[in-house]
């Protein structure tokens, strides 16, 4: 371990012995330290080492404390520390230490182990459960992942357990019920799931519980009433059903109660107003009803009261205005349903009352007290520019208005021109003097640094409003730059800010991390959204859900941060291009390129037909290239000669697959780059439209989980696409190909394939400039590179937008993967891809295709079987038997439940792919939706039979093998009526690099 530039030193400062019973280790007496303890310290820069020299009649010293906080130490944790056999306190907090915690540290005899505020990664070693005397373990603010080892429940002496702001998953181990000495328990901001366990009743000594921003579900167990020593309780953002207010009346010494966004309903308990020591009460973002208890006005210790976003009714509490006169309490009572005793104004320091009344059209109320802040004059604004946290600046011809007010907590601020406003809620825990404006202290090398020099902060909830806006479609551009954290390999660079963003009530960013998205601190990043304003008011909401660090580089540094906001009406020129214009330009450019290719193709074919002799001329002459150039040019034209040379004149030995487009060959370019060449067959069911569509779409895309197009070749009737070569072919061949082609995919690989595919689809649907529906997601269109990472391929059928406004006469896709609404009505949305993804995920987990692998005649296809197993509580029986027991049951259940969620009959019940990614990563719980009850098993069978029969009344269903195979080559799909209620059906065993001709591709 080293400091600064990594120089490895051992510095024992000569600070005096400090007496025989303990003190600083003296250089003059270090000879009394055992050699192994001196050796263990090599690599540290030490400014605080405490020795005890009372051993063996004051003749021998041992190191008992090693405290190296804020030394900017870097490197990894050494195994040799375990040689400090008398060490009792080890504190390496707030440094830049990386790597895992050594398993050997399980033998350390320490009372206190503090590693918080570093970059420690890996999993928690189960060996830590051997520490016989451990009382406190502090690991907050690192990058530790995986579940909590149940062995930690063996540390009966444990009193303090801090693991907030890591990447911990799984449920709390049941062995933690043994930790009866627990006094302080903090797990904020992890992806820990499951219910809050009732065994917390065993923690009779506990005084603080922090469970903010996890993936846990309610309700809070009633056993919490037994924790009489509880002084601080913070539980937020619970999923699950509505719950009643937890019984806290026995915890008479409570000082802080935070139960935010926990779906709590009913009235606020009267006993809360009788708590003599209660300083902070945050029960915002719940479903509380009734009136605010009158005795709240007499709470002597109360400093912060947050009741925002509930359904409170009755008269507005007059005592709030009286308390307001002395600024005694910071209060937020906004977004409720009060009806009487309205205040004369709502712009008051430390009391936020915005939208606190139920009416939106009562003209006797101030507009800011009413729902949706209605416009009382003629709407007149079509744009809005705010320099959040900063002074007025002019950028690119637009004036960003001043927003430099220092007021932050419990407040509503209206701009001088009444064009916009903001509402802020919350206090920075542990920092009563927290600043609500962040200021950059380093030089910003940005295009418009004046927009990012300051930024507005909020500890919990920050809302900006555009007032009296014209009703129209708008582009909302949010400007971010992380200017609080550093990038200098000190502990100040370990901070992590995570928050959500809502526009007009819809979540547009979840678990947004500015630094991660921008590639580091002090770098700008913008996010652009379109939204409709229908009631003359725009609302942009930034919300902290309890995730990220809260004390790096100092306490109270967390919550949302926004640098600037620009809002422009789409179709108008405000010196910025609206999203619609950007998309139009991109689509127009792609269309123009495709048009040129069509013209070129037409003239080449025409000239070939009307010219004697060879008549073939390359549209673009071939030229030498290299890998770097290929990778920087989305669309590169190769000559036919180059491709023939690369594939050895399409030698059958180089053929690696056969798809609906035609054969696929492996080729080697002159510089050694290996490529895959996709060749249009004259017998192909895909044609020029799909060929050009694939070029136009994939040229605009860049993502690790999408196959990369190197270029194309058009020469006479030769149409060729040149892709990056993927060493391991496709998921279809890996799972369902011939035995010699199948790959042994372990559980981790399968899970990563599902996760990578989900990320690729999320990019297509939500992140790319062009919002794309793939339309043909199936195993043979998911390719695998040398590391078995998935890449989505075959964009010949993709569409640039949803299409559900009319019945399509040209349905394209593969039977077995098409969503019901698309197969039956031609209604195409991104949710069709979500459905296909769910089917593929089931296949990857089970190792079976959607119908052909079914041997049980009771089930029509794999999806039916999966649904039945779920009903029986036997979903794990679906896991591929080839895996044996070598898989993670929790992950398997998660993935299977997500797959079944994706294949819901109703598209509105299917999640977005970005949500699928978060569910797979354990960042959010799996969405709970009602079971499909509108499509019975008999109806599914009837629909499938109807499709299989293709209106052939002679079909003998009693003789139909394999539950209606759809691979009959005699089936004339072109004769199938578009109104046929075909529904999901199956896939065949694909073994090609691209879709096999044996896989039914449906075009109507």
**Confidence at residue 881, expressed as pLDDT on a 0 to 100 scale:** 92
Q: What is the pLDDT of residues 964-974, one digit of tens each?
A: 333 333 333 33
Please give the helix or strand (H or E) that residue 645 lies within, else none. helix 640-646
Same domain (yes/no): 325, 233: yes
Same domain (yes/no): 677, 784: no
Q: What is the pLDDT of residues 312-367, one digit of tens each?
A: 999 999 888 876 555 678 999 999 999 999 998 887 778 999 999 988 778 888 89
Q: Which two tokens stand for residue 371?
A: 């729902």
Is residue 140 one of the residues assigned to a domain?
A: no
Is residue 158 one of the residues assigned to a domain?
A: no
The residue with greater pLDDT, 341 or 7, is 341
Q: 217, 191 in Cβ contact below 8 A?
A: no
**Confidence at residue 200, expressed as pLDDT on a 0 to 100 scale:** 98
Buried b (16+ CB within 10 A) or exposed e, 450-481: bbbbbbbbbbbbbbbbbbbbeeeebbbbbbbb
Q: Tell me how many degrees the CA angle 35-38-39 measures, rounded to the nearest 5.
A: 85
Average pLDDT, the chain: 80
Q: What is the pLDDT of residues 685-711, one digit of tens each?
A: 455 555 565 565 566 577 889 988 888
Q: What is the pLDDT of residues 113-135, one digit of tens each?
A: 999 999 999 999 999 999 989 99
In angstroms, the CA 935 to CA 933 distance is: 6
Q: What is the pLDDT of residues 226-244, one digit of tens each?
A: 999 999 999 999 998 999 9
Nearest Cα residue to 904 out of 892, 914, 916: 916
The mean pLDDT value for 670-693 works out to 68
Give the chain's domain count. Answer: 4
Q: 964, 943 in Cβ contact below 8 A?
A: no
Q: 813, 827 in Cβ contact below 8 A?
A: no
The greatest distance separating any two alpha carbons of the chain, rounded to the nearest whole angstrom, comes to 110
Nearest Cα residue to 638 out of 671, 607, 682: 671
In angstroms, the CA 876 to CA 868 distance is: 12
Same domain (yes/no): 421, 569: yes
Is residue 865 one of the residues assigned to a domain?
A: yes
Is residue 143 one of the residues assigned to a domain?
A: no
The mean pLDDT value for 372-378 works out to 90
Of 361-370, 604-613, 892-901, which one has max mean pLDDT? 892-901
Q: What is the pLDDT of residues 136-194, one digit of tens each?
A: 999 999 999 999 999 999 999 999 999 999 999 999 999 999 999 999 999 999 999 99
Q: Single out the catalytic residue among 91, 282, 427, 776.
A: 776
Q: 515, 521 in Cβ contact below 8 A?
A: yes
Considering 724, 746, 768, which residue would you say is the last residue of a domain? 724
Same domain (yes/no): 446, 361: no
Q: Beta-carbon neighbour count of residue 825 at 10 Å?
A: 16
**Confidence at residue 694, expressed as pLDDT on a 0 to 100 scale:** 56
- Comparing 58-62, 203-207, 556-560, 937-941, which segment has the lowest mean pLDDT? 937-941
CATH at 789 = 1.10.510.10
Domain of residue 839 covers 732-950
pLDDT tops 50 at residue 770 = yes
CATH at 600 = 3.30.200.20
- DSSP assignments along 558-599, one per residue: -S-EE-EEEEEETTS-SSS--HHHHHHHHHHHHHHHHHHHHH
**Confidence at residue 4, expressed as pLDDT on a 0 to 100 scale:** 36
Is residue 383 one of the residues assigned to a domain?
A: yes
Same domain (yes/no): 711, 768: no
**Confidence at residue 978, expressed as pLDDT on a 0 to 100 scale:** 31
Helix-helix angle 862-871:889-902, to 10 degrees: 120
In angstroms, the CA 140 to CA 212 distance is: 13
Q: Which two tokens stand for residue 706?
A: 């999408």
In angstroms, the CA 74 to CA 95 distance is: 7
Nearest Cα residue to 69 out of 103, 44, 52: 44
Same domain (yes/no): 712, 743: no
**CB within 8 Å of 56: residues ≥ 6 apart:** none
Is residue 26 one of the residues assigned to a domain?
A: no
Same domain (yes/no): 542, 599: no
pLDDT tops 50 at residue 942 = no
In angstroms, the CA 102 to CA 153 distance is: 19
Considering 371, 400, 420, which residue would you say is the last residue of a domain? 371
Residue 836: phi and psi, rounded to 5, are -60, -40
Same domain (yes/no): 586, 570: no
Helix-helix angle 830-846:862-871, to 10 degrees: 80
Q: Which two tokens stand for residue 445?
A: 């090398």
Q: Which 3 state secondary structure label does DSSP give 154? A: helix
Q: Which 3 state secondary structure label does DSSP give 958? A: helix
pLDDT tops 80 at residue 37 = no
Is residue 822 one of the residues assigned to a domain?
A: yes
CATH at 353 = 3.80.10.10
Is residue 972 one of the residues assigned to a domain?
A: no
Same domain (yes/no): 232, 244: yes
Same domain (yes/no): 469, 535: yes
CA 600 to each of CA 74, 112, 719: distance values in angstroms, whole numbers, following the listed order: 60, 74, 12
pLDDT tops 70 at residue 937 = no
Sign for the pseudo-dihedral over CA of 848, 849, 851, 852: negative
Same domain (yes/no): 789, 937: yes
Considering 950, 974, 991, which residue would you say is the last residue of a domain? 950
pLDDT tops 50 at residue 523 = yes
Same domain (yes/no): 327, 344: yes
Q: 878, 889 in Cβ contact below 8 A?
A: no
Please give the helix or strand (H or E) that residue 457 lies within, else none. strand 454-457
In angstroms, the CA 652 to CA 728 distance is: 19
Q: How many helices (H) and strands (E) does the chain have?
A: 16, 50
CATH at 524 = 2.60.120.430
In angstroms, the CA 863 to CA 842 distance is: 8
Q: What is the pLDDT of residues 730-748, one digit of tens each?
A: 999 999 888 888 999 999 9
**Confidence at residue 324, expressed as pLDDT on a 0 to 100 scale:** 56
Q: Does the annotation mark 746 as catalytic?
A: no
The residue with greater pLDDT, 447 or 482, is 482
In angstroms, the CA 175 to CA 160 distance is: 16
């Amino acid at each position: 371990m080293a400091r600064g530039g990594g120089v490895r030193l051992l510095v024992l400062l000569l600070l005096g012995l400090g007496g025989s019973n303990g003190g600083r280790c003296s250089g003059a007496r270090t000879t009394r330290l055992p050699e192994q303890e001196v050796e263990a310290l090599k690599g540290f820069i030490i400014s605080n080492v405490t020795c005890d020299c009372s051993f063996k009649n004051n003749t021998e010293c041992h190191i008992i404390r090693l405290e190296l906080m804020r030394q900017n130490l870097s490197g990894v944790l050494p195994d040799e520390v375990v040689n400090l056999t008398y060490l009792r306190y080890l504190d390496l907090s707030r440094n830049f230490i990386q790597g895992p915690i050594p398993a050997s540290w399980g033998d350390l005899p320490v009372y206190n182990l503090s590693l918080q505020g570093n970059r420690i990664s890996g999993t928690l070693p189960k060996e830590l459960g051997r520490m016989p005397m451990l009382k406190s373990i502090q690991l907050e603010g690192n990058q530790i992942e995986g579940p909590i080892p149940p062995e930690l429940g063996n540390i009966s002496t444990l009193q303090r357990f801090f693991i907030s702001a890591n990447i911990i998953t799984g449920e709390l181990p049941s062995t933690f019920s043994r930790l009866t000495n627990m006094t302080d328990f903090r797990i904020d901001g992890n992806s820990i799931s499951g219910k809050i366990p009732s065994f917390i009743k065993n923690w009779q000594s506990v005084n603080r519980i922090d469970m903010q921003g996890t993936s846990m579900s309610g309700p809070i167990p009633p056993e919490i009433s037994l924790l009489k020593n509880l002084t601080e309780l913070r539980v937020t953002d619970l999923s699950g059903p509505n719950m009643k207010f937890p019984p806290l009346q026995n915890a008479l010494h409570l000082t802080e109660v935070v139960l935010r966004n926990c779906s709590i309903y009913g009235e606020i308990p009267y006993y809360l107003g009788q708590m003599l020591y209660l300083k902070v009460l945050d029960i915002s973002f719940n479903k509380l009803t009734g009136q605010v208890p009158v005795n709240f006005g007499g709470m002597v210790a109360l400093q912060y009261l947050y009741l925002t976003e509930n359904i409170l009714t009755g008269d507005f509490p007059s005592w709030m205005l009286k308390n307001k006169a002395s600024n005694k309490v910071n209060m937020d009572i906004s977004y409720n349903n009060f009806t009487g005793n309205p205040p004369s104004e709502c712009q008051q320091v430390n009391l936020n009352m915005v939208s606190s009344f139920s009416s939106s059209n009562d003209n006797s109320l101030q507009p800011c007290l009413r729902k949706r802040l209605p416009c009382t004059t003629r709407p007149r604004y079509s744009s809005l520019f705010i320099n959040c946290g900063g002074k007025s600046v002019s950028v690119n011809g637009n004036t960003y208005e001043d927003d430099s007010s220092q007021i932050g907590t419990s407040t509503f601020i209206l701009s001088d021109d009444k064009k916009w406003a903001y509402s802020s809620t919350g206090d920075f825990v542990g920092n009563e003097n927290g600043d609500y404006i962040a200021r950059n202290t380093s030089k910003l090398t940005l295009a418009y640094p004046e927009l990012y020099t300051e930024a507005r902060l909020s500890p919990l909830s920050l809302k900006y409003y555009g007032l009296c806006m014209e009703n129209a479609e708008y582009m909302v551009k949010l400007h971010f730059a992380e200017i609080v954290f550093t990038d200098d390999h000190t502990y100040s660079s370990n901070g992590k800010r995570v928050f959500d963003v809502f526009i007009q009530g819809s979540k547009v960013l979840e678990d947004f991390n500015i630094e991660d998205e921008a590639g580091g601190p002090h770098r700008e990043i913008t996010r652009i959204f379109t939204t409709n304003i229908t009631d003359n008011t725009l609302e942009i909401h930034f919300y902290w859900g309890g995730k990220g660090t809260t004390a790096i580089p100092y306490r109270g540094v967390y919550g949302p941060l926004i640098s600037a906001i620009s809002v422009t009406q789409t179709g108008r020129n405000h010196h910025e291009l609206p999203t619609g214009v950007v998309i139009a330009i991109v689509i127009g450019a792609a269309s123009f390129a495709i048009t040129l290719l069509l013209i070129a193709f037409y003239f080449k074919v025409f000239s070939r037909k009307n010219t004697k002799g060879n008549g073939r001329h390359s549209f673009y002459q071939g030229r030498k290239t290299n890998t770097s150039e290929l990778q920087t040019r989305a669309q590169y034209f190769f000559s036919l000669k180059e491709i023939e040379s690369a594939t050895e004149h399409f030698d059958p030995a180089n053929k690696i697959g056969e798809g609906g487009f035609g054969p696929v060959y492996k080729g080697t370019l002159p510089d050694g780059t290996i490529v895959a060449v996709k060749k249009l067959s004259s017998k192909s069911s895909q044609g020029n439209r799909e060929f050009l569509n694939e070029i136009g779409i994939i040229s605009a895309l860049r993502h690790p989980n999408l196959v990369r197009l190197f270029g194309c070749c058009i020469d006479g009737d030769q149409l060729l696409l040149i892709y990056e070569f993927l060493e391991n072919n496709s998921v279809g061949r890996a799972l369902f190909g011939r035995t010699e082609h199948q790959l042994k995919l372990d559980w981790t690989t399968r899970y990563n394939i599902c996760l990578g595919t989900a990320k690729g689809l999320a990019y297509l649907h939500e992140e790319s400039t062009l919002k794309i529906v793939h339309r043909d997601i199936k195993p043979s269109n998911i390719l695998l590179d040398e590391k078995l990472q998935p890449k989505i391929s075959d964009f010949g059928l993709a569409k640039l937008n949803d299409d559900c406004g009319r019945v399509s006469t040209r349905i394209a896709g593969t039977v077995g993967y098409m969503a019901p609404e698309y197969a039956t009505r031609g209604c195409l949305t991104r949710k069709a891809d979500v459905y296909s993804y769910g089917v593929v995920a089931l296949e990857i987990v089970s190792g079976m295709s959607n119908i052909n692998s079914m041997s049980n005649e009771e089930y029509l296809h794999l999806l039916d079987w999966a649904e039945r197993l779920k009903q029986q509580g036997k979903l794990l029986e679906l896991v591929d038997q080839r895996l044996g027991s070598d898989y993670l049951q929790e992950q398997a259940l998660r993935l299977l439940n997500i797959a079944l969620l994706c294949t819901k009959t109703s598209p509105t019940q299917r999640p977005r792919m970005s949500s699928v990614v978060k569910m797979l990563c354990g960042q959010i719980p799996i969405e709970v939706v009602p079971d499909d009850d509108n499509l019975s098993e008999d109806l599914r069978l009837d629909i499938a039979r109807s499709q299989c029969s293709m209106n052939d009344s002679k079909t003998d269903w009693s003789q139909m093998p394999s539950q209606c195979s759809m691979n009959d080559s005699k089936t004339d799909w072109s004769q199938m009526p578009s109104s046929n209620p075909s529904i999901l059906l199956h896939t065949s065993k694909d073994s090609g690099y691209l879709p096999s001709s044996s896989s039914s591709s449906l075009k109507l």
